[in-house]
Amino acid sequence: MASYSPATLDDIRAGVDVVDLVGRFVNLRKAGQNYKGLCPFHAEKTPSFMVNPKKGIFHCFGCGVGGDVFGFLMRQDRLSFPEAVRVLAKQAGVALPEDRGGAAAGDSGREELYRVMEAAAAFYVERLWAADGERAREYLDKRGIDPDVAKRFGLGWAPEGWETIRGALKPFGEDALVAAGLLVTRDNKPGTYDRFRGRLLFAIRDLQGRVVAFGGRGFGDEQPKYLNSPETPLYSKGNLLYAADLARETIREKNRALIVEGYVDCLMAHQHGFTETVAALGTAFTAAQLRVLERYCGEVITFFDADAAGQKAAERAEELLKPSEGGLAWGVNRAGAFNGAGSLRVKVALLPAGHDPDTFLRAEGAAGFTERIAGARSLLSYAFDRTIGETGAGAGPSARRNSFERVALMLAKVADAEEAAALSREAALKLGVDATQLWIEAQRLQASLRRPATVAGIATATPAPPIFERDLVALLLASRDARGALLPLLDPAEIVHAGMREIVETIARVPDAEAPALMSELGTDGARHALSALIVDERPLSEETVVIQQFRRRLERTRLSGRLRSVSQGVAEVQQKASSAVPMDATIVAELQQQGAVLHELVGGPVPSLTPAVESSPDPAGPQGVHTHE
Ligand SMILES: [Zn+2]
């Protein structure tokens, strides 16, 4: 796996702060010597994702994934190993061979696309502020967008013309520009043309601030009014949030996010000081987007026009409570205390009929907006109101029964019991039914809805190693002396757990490597995950020399008993030959028997069998004494 020298990789590891890197994607909190957060690689509501800052290693005890900074970036950004090395080398200020003229290897093409998009964004920004960008600047002015805000968001202008971007980015080649979504292939004849022409461009960035797509707005009668980048290897709709890179810090600080529909809504909110605002890049936010926000805050506030609120809230709630949306059933909470990681309160702030955040902010300013936010109510409350309201005053018993059932069904999907109880009291009052009755019905439905607790996307869990092997490998990782004393006694073939076996083989190959450096020497993900678990789960060692002694005795016994077995076999064979009247050498028998006696003595007592018995050492001071803190 390693195509870069271990020294280079060490330099990069030393120059990249793992907490800083992972912290761009995961909200980390200090927990003892480690940091803890919600795993970005599987859906969970209790943090089991750990980062060890000293060793530069992460590990998730939920899905079993783990590794170093390279492994994290590879998984998070779907990069190849050399790509991850290049990205982090740049951050750490470490020069790579290819920086000095060597060839770059293992490019999956994504890195090239990032460069293309970066160059395109720079070009479009330049055009906006150049002479021919005047029409676009006039439009910004008309919409009340500050030039400063426009610059902070990297707004650009795609000039009229069919081959402007193709000409400007010629060195990248046509194929890369097509792959990046900047050029469109002609339908009937060969050739390509610019996708964005005569449009104001909003650069869509990922959480790391890299441009992955553009949204283009026409000024006049152009159709469509909004034209977006197509899905590319860098950009898939539905999981990105516009301005998340700019808003993330404030979202974390304020522990809340404001989510709006349009680019201009978002710009306006930032311009008025609401820098925790992101845009959903569509008419409605998705569960995947909420899951991103959930890593940074406990509350999300969305804005609905008063006329449409009931209907929109009902639609959003229905969608978010769908089992297929995975895990958000318990996440959509109404109000009340923020209870632990993973529970996200989704609220709705009402705007006067006909307003969106953009028009409202321009009319009422920040103070009015703040008031609306303060009055935000749970998305679920709105959804309930809608469901109950449909029954209408004076509805017949069957309509009421129907509405009772729908409310009970929604309640059943709210896994937070306190939340559900409060909602059911509210709903019962409005429905004119007994709260207990409604609650019982919801409980009944909940029991029938309960699905088996399988979490999608979990890496195939590897079995845990036997305690003896785990402790032995942990010792080898931590101590040079242990490596010197124990490696000669170890036959890796006798190690049962595949991951532990690979780690021992690798330590034997590069005995001077520090534990984190082994990461890039290992050949399989299984071994890397096993290694990260050991490193993150760093246990305090008792007196090192004593522990090494205990393991040495244990391993020597194992080895001796192996030899004893083969000697005993030798004796048995010789005796068999003797009984078959073949002439035998008396000295051989005597020697074997003597060896056997010596070995018996050393092993002490009954001969332990090799592999299965290692778990049950009869020696009370044996290696099991090492992990008494379990
Ligand atoms: Zn995980």
Buried b (16+ CB within 10 A) or exposed e, 571-594: beebeeeeeeeeeeeeeebeebee
Please tell me the distance from the alpha carbon of residue 75 to that of residue 66, in angstroms, as a whole number.
Answer: 10
Q: How far is the CA of 40 from the centre of ligand 1 (A)?
A: 7
| 449-476 mean pLDDT | 65
Report the pLDDT value the prediction gives residue 462, as an integer from 0 to 100. 61
> From the CA of 331, how far away is ligand 1's center (Å)?
18
- The domain covering 6-100 belongs, at the CATH homologous superfamily level, to Zinc finger, CHC2-typedomain (3.90.580.10)
How far apart CA 174 and CA 213 sit, in angstroms, is: 17
CA of 343 to the centre of ligand 1 (A): 17
Beta strand 299-305 with 345-351 is parallel
Measure 459 CA to ligand 1 centroid, in angstroms. 8
Cα of 454 vs centre of ligand 1, distance in Å, is 13
Ligand 1 centre from 16 Cα, in Å?
22
Residue with the bigger pLDDT between 577 and 229: it is 229
Q: How far is the CA of 44 from the centre of ligand 1 (A)?
A: 8
Interval between CA 288 and ligand 1 midpoint (Å) = 16
Q: Quick one: angle between helices 498-509 and 525-536, nearest 10?
A: 80
Q: How confident is the model at residue 618 (pLDDT cuts 50, 70, 90)?
A: very low
* Cα(111) to centroid(ligand 1), Å: 26
- pLDDT at position 356 over 50: yes
Give distance in angstroms: CA of 42 to centre of ligand 1: 5
Ligand 1 centroid–CA 630 distance in Å is 23
Q: From ligand 1's centre to the CA of 37, what distance in Å? A: 10
Separation of CA 238 and ligand 1 centre (Å): 21
Measured in Å, residue 528 CA sits from the centre of ligand 1 at 14
Q: Cα of 352 to ligand 1 centre, how many Å?
A: 42
SS3 at position 189: coil
Distance between Cα 428 and ligand 1 center (Å): 40
CA of 313 to the centre of ligand 1 (A): 31
Among the residue ranges 33-47, 210-224, 491-505, 571-585, the one predicted with the least confidence is: 571-585
**Count of C-beta atoms within a 10 Å radius of residue 362:** 14
- This prediction has a pTM of 0.61
- For residue 114, the CA-to-ligand 1 centroid distance in Å is 27
Q: What confidence tens digit (pLDDT) does each residue in 152-173 have?
A: 999 999 999 999 999 999 999 9
- Residues 116-140 have a mean pLDDT of 95
Query: How confident is residue 433, by pLDDT bands cut at 50, 70 and 90?
Result: confident
Cα 342 to ligand 1 centroid, rounded to whole Å:
14
Question: How far away, in angstroms, is 66 Cα from ligand 1 center?
Answer: 9
State the distance from the centre of ligand 1 to the C-alpha of 280, rounded, in angstroms.
25
Q: Per-domain residue ranges for the chain?
A: 6-100, 110-228, 244-384, 390-449, 467-615
453 has pLDDT over 90: no
- Return the amino acid letter for 432: G
CA–centroid distance, residue 419 to ligand 1 (Å): 27
Q: What is the CATH number of domain 244-384?
A: 3.40.1360.10
Distance 523 CA to ligand 1 centre (A): 21
On whether the CB atoms of residues 51 and 58 are closer than 8 A, the answer is: yes
Q: Determine phi and psi for 613, rounding to 5 degrees.
A: -80, -10
Rounded to the nearest angstrom, the distance between the alpha carbon of 316 and the centre of ligand 1 is: 27
* Range with top average pLDDT, 35-49, 387-401, 555-569: 35-49
**Rg (alpha carbons) of the chain, rounded to whole number:** 32
Backbone angles phi, psi at 287, to 5 degrees: -60, -35
pLDDT tier for residue 611 given thresholds of 50, 70 and 90: very low
Percent of the chain with pLDDT over 90: 34
pLDDT tens profile 470-514 = 889 999 998 888 999 999 888 888 888 899 999 999 999 998 888
Higher pLDDT, 393 or 626: 393
Q: Which own/partner pairs from 225-229 qualify as long-range (CB within 8 Å, at least 24 positions apart)? A: 227/195, 227/196, 227/199, 228/281, 229/181, 229/182, 229/195, 229/204
Task: Compute the distance from residue 106 Cα to the ligand 1 centre, in Å.
Answer: 27
Give the model's confidence band at 392: pLDDT under 50 very low, under 70 low, under 90 confident, else very high: low
**Ligand 1 geometric centre to CA of 62 (Å):** 5
Greater pLDDT, 318 or 426: 426
**Ligand 1 midpoint to CA 27 (Å):** 14
Q: How many residues does the chain have?
A: 630
Q: How many other CB atoms sit within 10 Å of the CB of residue 42? A: 18
HSE-CB for 469 with a 13 A CA cutoff: 23
Q: How many angstroms separate the alpha carbon of residue 59 from the centre of ligand 1?
A: 8
Lookup: tokens for 569: 């076999």
Structure tokens at 131: 């002479």
Measured CA to CA, the distance from residue 51 to residue 30 in angstroms comes to: 9
Distance 100 CA to ligand 1 centre (A): 38
Q: Are 589 and 571 in contact (CB under 8 A)?
A: yes
CATH classification for the domain delimited by 110-228, as one of 3.90.980.10, 3.20.20.70, 3.40.50.2000, 3.10.20.30: 3.90.980.10
Is 244-384 the same fold as 110-228? no
Residue 255 CA, ligand 1 centroid: distance in Å: 23
Q: How far is the CA of 71 from the centre of ligand 1 (A)?
A: 14
Interval between CA 529 and ligand 1 midpoint (Å): 11
DSSP-based three-state secondary structure for 458? coil
Q: Is the pLDDT reported for residue 124 higher than 80?
A: yes
User: Does the bond joining 224 to the residue before it have cis omega, within 30 degrees of 0?
Assistant: yes
Which of 617 and 267 is assigned the larger pLDDT?
267
